[in-house]
Amino acid sequence: MIFSSLRRLALAGIAACALGVATVPAQAQSLSAEQRAAVVELIKETLLKNPELIQEALVELEKRNQVAQVEAQRNALAAEKASLTDPATSVIAGNPQGDVTLVEFMDYNCGFCKRAMEDVRALAKDDPKLKVVIKDFPILGPDSVEASRVAIAVKNQLQGQKYWDFHLKLMATKGRVNGAKAMEIAKEAGADIERVKKDIEAPATRAVIEQTVALGDRLGLTGTPAFIVGDEVVFGAVGQAALKQKIDAVRKCGKATCSG
């Protein structure tokens, strides 16, 4: 009877150790030193005879971590709903009053962002009820920060389709995009360059980038492009069809993935 209880405690100990659980079964706390030593030996014996238990437990741990991460991200999205669509720190395209919002965190030097831009443009064109929100998330170095500062400064002058055209042209630029290249495209778009030069140094311009980067950190975003659709984050250039599927799901059930 005592041996059977010790074996149960040993199995519980294996599960706790493998799954990273800090607590131990309550019964174990009342064991004598000799009994605790026996439990340790049973754990060793069981793992040596059944090493696959560790792999199974690690797989289960990874599943639990993923579920917890998704849940934490959904909670963060709900808490940051207003920040995600704040016009002061975003570019609004498509239908500003759209019934579904697609948010993209992007970097002007992100190759996958350039690829995904065609998908975003097509979605905005084909879906008259879609609101598109673009957020400058310059995480790929100083050149990206410079380009974003110019883009944010240009937004003070160009609005609506004019700014959207500027943004698309900047995204379509081949090679590395820096402040000088962004200035060149801003001039072609009709922006007052002297004013742009002044505005890129303004505290408000720097604040937009700082706030967006901080928002990305709170949402657990580690790369670009990152899309927010409903209650989900979609990473990478997944293609127009995949994004449309999420958008359609939000319209159907209020979530990016409908159950059943």
For 13-34, write each residue's pLDDT tens digit: 555 554 444 444 555 557 778 8
User: Which whole number is the average pLDDT over 237-258?
Assistant: 96
- Quote the pTM value: 0.76
Lowest model confidence (mean pLDDT) among 2-6, 57-61, 118-122? 2-6
Contact criterion met (CB below 8 Å) for 60 and 19? yes
pLDDT value, residue 66:
72
How much is the pLDDT for 146?
97
> In sequence order, which residues have a C-beta less than 8 Å from that of residue 155 and are 6 or more positions away?
91, 163
Which percentage of the chain shows pLDDT scores above 70? 87
CA proximity to 220, closest of 206, 202, 232, 230: 232
More confident residue, 75 or 72: 75
Nearest to 243 by CA among 110, 100, 114: 100
135 φ/ψ angles, rounded to the nearest 5 degrees: -125, 125
**How much of the chain, in percent, has pLDDT values that exceed 90?**
68
Question: What's domain 83-253's architecture?
Answer: 3-Layer(aba) Sandwich (3.40)
For residue 158, name the pLDDT band (cuts at 50, 70, 90): very high
Model pLDDT for residues 50-66, shown as the tens digit of each residue: 888 778 777 777 777 77
The pLDDT value recorded for residue 58 is 79
Give the pLDDT score at 75: 83
- Is there a contact between 231 and 80 (Cβ–Cβ < 8 Å)? no
pLDDT at 6: 46
pLDDT score for 47: 78
Residue 3 has pLDDT above 50, yes or no: no
Q: How confident is the model at residue 7 (pLDDT cuts 50, 70, 90)?
A: low
Within the chain, all domains assigned CATH 3.40.30.10 are found at 83-253
Please report which confidence band the pLDDT of residue 39 belongs to, taking 50, 70 and 90 as the band edges. Answer: confident
> Quick one: pLDDT at residue 63?
76
